[in-house]
């Protein structure tokens, strides 16, 4: 089956008693067993039966199965947030004394997790320029476990060369871990680019309608030891996805392709139109042909560029004025909602960062991040234009 068909038609793990078309939501925390022998087998994973919903639930398993079929992964784990997917999987890979080679251009919470939280437990993050392979190589030593990259950084929109990083990592016996939240995994194959472990905030494209928070750990080649560690971490940290979220996100996954096609086309159209507004100093979108990362994004992601645009305005005050004048576009965080959203990252997501940290992370104080929705772009463009051109 092709991707679009697979997203819709995944068989249930076992036949539903009533032939329900939508996956039933198993709102249960525990399961009854026919006898003590089967019960023992279930608890010791000798038979694939759910025992307790902190680690296994039929609705969540179905969502994980759909993702496995769509990505060709060995194992998929659904967790309660993107951050849970990132923290739990990295804790499964690393132990005290290990280090992770990564970039300063990371999602704000990931940067804090690596630089602050993990540091307290003896896991070191080494920040370098992931676009400079020599710098990456120099940062790696025998305690390095993985290279950790975001495929399109946020809000800078830097695109790393996954094949080159995978080649370097594998030549030194390390793993490549990639946060691919910015482009749906139905549009490009992280596996074929050499990614060992793919992490996704399913809060974004998959949830779609701003309905639920979730995260995915998609394992292509981390092996049995990782699977056992991940199972242990899931049991002991308790961040497994809940059945209701899995149900909502299964629906999101089924219509992801339809939404993404429209959102990405809308984003391309809007990016071009925004260039005609004089108050916007720079439109950052890798879909634009003169963007410095256009060629690599085109090659890696099969000519699709996501649905996030960053615009540079004249000053922080101009950013606040713009946000305050918006009528249709929502002032909100989140990405890839059905609605178009706008945020000033420097004063919000990075609002509590020190000025040194902001410099280290290259967070611009004049940047507005837009996440483009499903609306008619005539209306979104008109709202942005009126919010910017009021002084002209």
Interface with ligand PLP, residue 212, by CB under 6 A:
no
Strand order of the β-sheet with 197-201 is 75-79, 215-219, 197-201, 175-179, 144-150, 99-102, 124-127
Interface with ligand PLP, residue 271, by CB under 6 A:
no
We find the least distance from the C-beta atom of residue 150 to ligand PLP, in angstroms, to be 5
We find the least distance from the C-beta atom of residue 80 to ligand PLP, in angstroms, to be 8
Residue closest to 168 by CA, chosen among 192, 194, 188? 194
CA distance 130 to 36: 53
Choice between 56 and 181, CB closer to ligand PLP: 181
Q: Which stretch binds ligand PLP (CB under 6 A): 70-78, 134-142, 200-208, 233-241?
A: 200-208
We find the least distance from the C-beta atom of residue 180 to ligand PLP, in angstroms, to be 8
In the complex, residue closest to ligand PLP by CB = 82
Q: Which stretch binds ligand PLP (CB under 6 A): 53-61, 80-88, 256-264, 294-302?
A: 80-88
Among residues 201, 212, 291, 364, which is the contact residue for ligand PLP, using CB under 6 A? Answer: 201
Interface with ligand PLP, residue 154, by CB under 6 A:
yes
Q: Which stretch binds ligand PLP (CB under 6 A): 36-44, 65-73, 158-166, 201-209?
A: 201-209
What is the DSSP code (8-state) at residue 276?
T
Interface with ligand PLP, residue 82, by CB under 6 A:
yes
Q: Which stretch binds ligand PLP (CB under 6 A): 77-85, 116-124, 299-307, 310-318?
A: 77-85
Q: Which stretch binds ligand PLP (CB under 6 A): 78-86, 229-237, 265-273, 313-321?
A: 78-86
We find the least distance from the C-beta atom of residue 299 to ligand PLP, in angstroms, to be 21
We find the least distance from the C-beta atom of residue 220 to ligand PLP, in angstroms, to be 19
Interface with ligand PLP, residue 102, by CB under 6 A:
no
Among residues 60, 67, 76, 83, which is the contact residue for ligand PLP, using CB under 6 A? Answer: 83
- Cα–Cα distances in angstroms (integers) from residue 392 to residues 312, 314, 388, in the given order: 17, 13, 8
- The answer to whether the beta carbons of residues 234 and 77 sit under 8 Å apart is yes
Name every residue whose Cβ is closer than 8 Å to that of residue 201 and which is 6 or more positions away in sequence: 81, 82, 83, 85, 179, 181, 214, 215
Q: Decide the pairing of beta strands 282-284 and 215-219.
A: unpaired
Interface with ligand PLP, residue 263, by CB under 6 A:
no
Q: Give me the residue label for tokens 């320029």.
A: 129
Interface with ligand PLP, residue 99, by CB under 6 A:
no
Interface with ligand PLP, residue 181, by CB under 6 A:
yes
Q: What is the per-residue DSSP string for 176-219?
A: EEEE-TTS-TTTS-TTTTT-SEEEEETTTTTT-SS----EEEEE
Distance between first and last Cα of the chain: 54
The number of residues that bind ligand PLP (CB under 6 A) is 15
Choice between 181 and 388, CB closer to ligand PLP: 181
We find the least distance from the C-beta atom of residue 183 to ligand PLP, in angstroms, to be 11
Q: What is the per-residue DSSP string for 280-293?
A: --EEE-TTSTTSTT
CA distance 153 to 104: 10
Interface with ligand PLP, residue 107, by CB under 6 A:
yes
CA distance 301 to 215: 21
Among residues 206, 335, 349, 380, which is the contact residue for ligand PLP, using CB under 6 A? Answer: 335
CB count within 10 Å of CB 44 equals 9
Interface with ligand PLP, residue 213, by CB under 6 A:
yes
Q: Could you tell me the two tokens for 17?
A: 């008693």
Q: Could you tell me the two tokens for 99?
A: 């280090």
CA 278 to chain centre: 33
Interface with ligand PLP, residue 249, by CB under 6 A:
no
Residues that bind ligand PLP (CB under 6 A): 81-83, 107, 110, 150, 154, 179, 181, 201, 203-204, 213, 215, 335
């Amino acid at each position: 089956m092709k991707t679009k068909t697979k997203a819709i038609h995944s068989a249930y793990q076992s036949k539903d008693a009533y032939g329900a078309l939508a996956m039933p939501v198993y709102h249960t925390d525990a399961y009854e067993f026919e006898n003590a022998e089967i019960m023992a087998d279930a608890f010791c994973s000798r038979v694939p039966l759910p025992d307790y919903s902190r680690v296994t639930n039929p609705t969540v398993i179905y969502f994980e199965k759909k993702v496995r079929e769509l990505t060709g992964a060995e194992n998929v784990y659904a967790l309660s947030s993107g951050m849970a997917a990132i923290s739990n999987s990295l804790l499964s890979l690393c132990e005290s004394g290990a280090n992770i080679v990564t970039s300063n251009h990371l999602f704000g919470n990931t940067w804090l997790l690596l630089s602050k939280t993990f540091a307290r437990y003896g896991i070191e993050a080494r920040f370098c320029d992931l676009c400079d392979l020599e710098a990456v190589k120099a940062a790696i030593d025998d305690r390095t476990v993985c290279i950790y990259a975001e495929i399109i950084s946020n809000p800078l929109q830097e695109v790393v060369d996954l094949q080159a990083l995978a080649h370097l990592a594998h030549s030194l016996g390390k793993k490549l871990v990639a946060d691919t939240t910015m482009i749906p995994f139905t549009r490009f194959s992280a596996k074929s680019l050499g990614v060992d472990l793919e992490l996704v905030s399913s809060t974004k494209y998959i949830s779609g309608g701003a309905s639920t928070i979730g995260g995915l750990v998609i394992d292509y080649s981390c092996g049995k030891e990782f699977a056992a560690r991940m199972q242990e971490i899931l049991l002991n940290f308790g961040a497994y996805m809940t059945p209701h979220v899995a149900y909502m996100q299964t629906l999101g996954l089924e219509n992801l392709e339809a939404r993404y096609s429209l959102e990405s086309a809308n984003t391309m159209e809007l990016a071009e139109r925004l260039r005609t507004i004089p108050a916007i100093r720079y439109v950052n979108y890798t879909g634009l042909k003169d963007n410095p990362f256009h060629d690599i994004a085109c090659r890696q992601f099969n000519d699709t560029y996501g649905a996030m645009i960053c615009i540079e305005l004249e000053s922080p005050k101009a950013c606040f004025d713009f946000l305050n004048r918006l009528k249709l576009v929502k002032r909100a965080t989140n990405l890839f909602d059905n609605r178009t959203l706008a945020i000033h990252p420097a004063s919000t997501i990075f609002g509590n960062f020190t000025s040194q940290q902001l410099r280290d992370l290259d967070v611009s104080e004049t940047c507005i991040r837009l996440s483009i929705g499903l609306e008619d772009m005539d209306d979104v463009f008109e709202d942005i234009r009126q919010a910017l051109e009021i002084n002209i």
